[in-house]
């Protein structure tokens, strides 16, 4: 224990999660990276590391107790649109059922602060690049649908203070850093 407030970052070894862990560390928090390394990278980890799946309630409960987690930043998700069409069950199990397990663990631990990563895919084939947050959701693939459902589950959890962010901004910045200006 570092004496700093601990924040659990699910998917903390992925692109967005690892950047958030670095920012948390620089801001004086103790990031606790929680990742199953299905797509994450050990070299990206900042802070304490817990190797686990978000659907594993026992590992989640142990993590909350061991690290005295005060908030969660939830970035763990399956995120390939094409794969979601071929294997939708994977997306509903990981993105929705896994999130529900995380919300249960948070509730059991008395942790009620959540920053939640969503995606522009919840809007389906929207005509505009600049959409207000209240734009109607109409996902057209299992990836977008599973992220929309988990946002609904997170927002409707009793006693949970949630903030939702769309990852489109992060993805645009990533493309620019890779030399792709789209």
Please say if 34 is a catalytic residue: no
Catalytic residue among 29, 34, 91, 143: 143
Q: Could you tell me where the beta strands, DSSP code E, fall in the chain?
A: 6-10, 30-35, 48-51, 69-74, 113-118, 161-166
Give the CA count within 13 Å in the CB-facing half-sphere of 112.
Answer: 7
Q: Are 32 and 71 a contacting pair, CB within 8 Å?
A: no
Distance, C-alpha 164 to centroid of its chain:
10
Q: Give, in order, the Cα–Cα distances in Å from 57 to each of 39, 63, 68, 115.
A: 21, 10, 16, 19
First to last CA, the chain: 43
What are the angstrom distances between the C-alpha of 107 and each of 100, 122, 161, 166?
Answer: 10, 26, 11, 24
Radius of gyration of the chain (CA): 16
List residues with catalytic annotation.
143
């Amino acid at each position: 224990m570092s004496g700093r407030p601990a924040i659990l970052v699910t998917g903390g070894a992925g692109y967005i999660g690892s950047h958030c862990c670095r920012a948390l560390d620089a801001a004086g928090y103790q990031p606790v990276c929680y990742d199953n390394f299905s797509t994450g990278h050990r070299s990206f980890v900042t802070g304490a590391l817990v190797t686990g799946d978000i659907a594993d309630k026992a590992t989640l409960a142990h993590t909350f107790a061991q690290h005295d987690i005060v908030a969660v930043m939830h970035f763990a998700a399956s995120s390939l649109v094409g794969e979601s069409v071929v294997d939708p069950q994977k997306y509903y199990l990981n993105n929705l059922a896994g999130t529900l397990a995380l919300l249960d663990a948070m509730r059991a631990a008395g942790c009620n602060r959540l920053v939640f990563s969503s995606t522009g895919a919840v809007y389906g084939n929207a005509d505009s690049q600049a959409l207000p947050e209240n734009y109607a959701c109409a996902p057209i693939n299992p990836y977008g649908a599973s992220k929309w459902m988990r946002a609904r589950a997170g927002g409707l959890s009793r006693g949970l203070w949630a903030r939702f962010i769309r990852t489109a901004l992060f993805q645009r910045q990533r493309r620019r850093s890779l030399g792709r200006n789209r």
